[in-house]
């Protein structure tokens, strides 16, 4: 997704509104891939040690 250009005299509220308008005008595939990337950035990848701790120990 291309970077949205800002005008220097815009307030933060105007920038948010401008960004939302630009985002809505993008094609669906660009919006979808952008949202997927945001979601993946927010997830923590499990460490190898965490996987070993989750194993169930079976007792006879």
Question: Taking residues 10-14, what's their average pLDDT?
Answer: 84
Q: Hey, what are 25's tokens?
A: 């005008």
H or E element: which one contains 18? helix 12-25
Q: Model confidence at 27, in pLDDT bands (50, 70, 90)?
A: very high
The C-alpha atoms of residue 22 and residue 1 are separated, in whole angstroms, by 11
Q: Is the pLDDT of residue 29 over 80?
A: yes
Burial class (CB in 10 A: 0-12, 13-18, 19+), 31: middle
């Amino acid at each position: 997704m291309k970077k949205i250009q800002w005008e220097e005299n815009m307030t933060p509220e105007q920038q948010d509104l401008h960004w939302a308008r630009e985002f809505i005008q993008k094609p669906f595939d660009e919006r979808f891939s952008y949202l997927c990337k945001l979601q993946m950035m927010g997830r923590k990848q499990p460490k190898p040690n965490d996987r070993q701790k989750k194993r169930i120990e079976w007792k006879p």
